Every structure is written in C-alpha cells, then in structure tokens.
Amino acid sequence: MNVRPVGYVLAMLLVVSTAAAVGADRPPKDLHWTGDHWTPWNPPVPPADVQVYKIVRGDTLWGIAKRTYGNPYLWPQIWEKNQYILDAHWIYPGDPLVLGPEVAPAEKLAAAGTGTAEPSTEAGEPEPSKPVPGVLNAGAAASPPGPLGAESDIYCSGYVGDVAESFPYAIVGSEYDALSPRLLDRAGAAETGTYGVINTAKYGLSTGDLVYLDGGSERGLTPGQLFTIVEPAQRVVHPVSRQLFGRFYHYVGRVRVLSVQEKTAIAEIVHSCDPVMVGSRLIPFQAEPVPLGRRTAMRPVNYPTAAEKLADAPTIIFSQDDIVSMGEDHVVFIDRGAQADVTPGDVYTIYRQNRPGLPPVILGELAILSVHPKSSVARIIRSRYEIFVGDRLEVK
C-alpha cells in the first residue's frame, strides 16, 4: 500500500493535535536529581550501539526531529523510542534521547555499496557500486518513513485483556436521566436495565454530552483529567487452542473532567467513536503516537517460512465487529503483546497453513500499532488473499 504525501502530513498533524490535548500547560511534578541534572522522568541508560542525543535548554522534539531527521513531523518517532518521557511537551536538559541505531551517514553507505572490496581506478578512487535489481541503496532506504495506520485505529479500537479486568471509574449517569419522567414498575420502583435507569431521554451519548462519574475529590479526581471510555464486550476464544483467551474491551470515546465534588464528578464527552452508554468504564487516557515505518518489499511468495516454524507462532485472534473476511486496512488483534516483547512498528508476514506436506501460503503483512500486556492491535498493510482469524504470523 503506497502512502500519499498528503495523507502522511495529515496523519502527523493528527498526532500533534492529540498530544497537544494532553496536559501541555501543566509541567510534571516531583523533579528529582539524576546524574547531573533535574528531571521528572526516569531515563534508562542507552545501549552502546545506538545514536544518543543529550537534550539542551530550548530543545523540543519538533526541533530535534527537524535537525536530525530533516522533517519536524517525525517527532513522534523520537518519542516512541524514548517512552520514559510521559509527556512529549516537557523534555529536560540533560536527559538522553535515543535517535536510532549507530550508523554511518547515508551518503557514505551509498558510496560503499554492498560493503565488499571494490577494484580501484588509476586515480586510486574506488569505482562506483553497480545497482542491484530489487535492492535499495542506503540513500533510497533513508527516505522518511510514513505512518503505519491512523489515530482512529488506536483510539477507536480497544484491546483483548483478562476476562474480568477492574477499572478505577465508571459513568453512572447523564443529564438526560433527569429530563424524562421516571417510569415505575407495578411495585412503584424505578425500572432499571443493563445500563441503569431505562427511562432516560437519550441512551446513546455522544460528543458534547455531560455525564456523571462515580468518583470525586476523595478518590483523586481533578478537573481537566482525560479518560478513555471502555465498554467490556465479548469473550475471545483462541482460534487455534480453542481455549478462553480473554475479553475484548472496546474503546468508545473519551471524557474530560469538568468539575469535581466529594464523591462524584461532572465530565464532558470530548470524543466518541460509537454511542456511549451509562455504565461504561473509564481508564486514564494515554496518548499513543501512530508508529512510523518504511514500506519495503513483501517476502517473496515462492520463499515462505518452514511450516514447523508456525506451529506455535503468533496468531490473529480477533477482529472488531465480527468481520470474517479481512484485507488491507482492516484492524485486527493478535495473541502477543508487551510480555512477548512486541513493540509498535513491528511488521509481521501473514501466513496460512497449507495441506500436510505443502509449504505455508503468504497472505500479506500487518503492522503493530498499539501494545498491551498479552495482546496487540495491528493493521493489515498488505493482502494477497482474504485474511481470517486464526492465520499465523512471523516477524519480518
């Protein structure tokens, strides 16, 4: 799938706007002395084989990306590599930034070609490398990467977690509950349903509606906090083992706390992917930049991996909205996450097991967008054939 420059710029602008909504005007608290400077973060010691930049006064991720990558819109790529920074608007002089692997300049690599010894000319200069069909030189490979998905793929999808996960807060009511006369059953009690009192003027809430939360100042809520709205959905059975894997938790929107009482709070729905219901759970909102990657050629279809390597391979375990037949740009969920060292931006080749004795069939590729403890959200970026839940994966 080719990424058009216009789409790339728009995707990056969306990332910038999302990050700007998260506490940009509130500096982190609890500074501590680390090495030779003050910082609120806990920077790890960078590995020896990476390129490291030390932040100086006046730096921004935007400016650093412009100087080092030649494109300021690539700042989320730096933030993604340095996840100890919890708010991209607040970086501190002295903190280290990992920029990427330690490599020679692209011009030097391009001149070196394949890296093998070259015959010299009479002037003593190496002859230029001959291009190899189908192989990118360093200059071409160093072109700016593009986004592997869209913000909606992350913020309007969800995750597969434990069957009975706990959540700190919930939506317990809305303004519309008071706008309709109460309906009483024969015993004189208010009729209730799965999501609370059923006699409300509006069930499916959306952007701009006010809701009430079941926590207040005594439980740590403060005005301005952002929460993701989560709707627990169906259980997920692993398509290969046929064992219960977990439950799908659907992201349906986002709320911002407006005011706080002792035991309750009033919040506004500031983003909705689907209708929001009273009873939905809340988790603190975390901004996730859309991962970037370079589109490279897919694995040759006549050179698949060995069938035995897919016996215990990562697997597509769930598709949102119960979609059966999937292709390019569909969002799926896989059975590997942070516990298996999966990271955003990883690309996997999609396979289907063949008849016994025959090699697996290459179906396409998917890219990891968001990672959770035992599952990940991915987007199919290439498809040769229809893709189904149960298809296997191999990291590219």
The tokens of 200 are what? 């409300």
**Residue 262 binned pLDDT confidence (cut-offs 50, 70, 90):** very high
pLDDT at 54: 93
Asked whether residue 316 carries a pLDDT value surpassing 80, the answer given is yes
The tokens of 363 are what? 């179906």
The tokens of 133 are what? 């069909």
**Residue 359 binned pLDDT confidence (cut-offs 50, 70, 90):** very high
Phi then psi for residue 205, to 5 deg, are -85, 160
Asked whether residue 171 carries a pLDDT value surpassing 80, the answer given is yes
pLDDT mean over 255-265: 95
Query: N- to C-terminal Cα distance for the chain?
Result: 16
Give the closest residue to 18 by CA, choosing from 78, 110, 88: 88
Least confident stretch, 3-17, 77-91, 175-189, 285-299: 3-17
**Residue 352 binned pLDDT confidence (cut-offs 50, 70, 90):** very high
Q: How long a stretch of residues is the chain?
A: 396
Bigger pLDDT: 264 or 293?
Answer: 264
DSSP-derived secondary structure letter, 214: S
Using DSSP, state whether 218 is helix, strand or coil.
helix
Phi then psi for residue 6, to 5 deg, are -65, -45
Residue-wise pLDDT for 92-109, tens only, equals 999 999 988 764 444 443
pLDDT at 129: 54
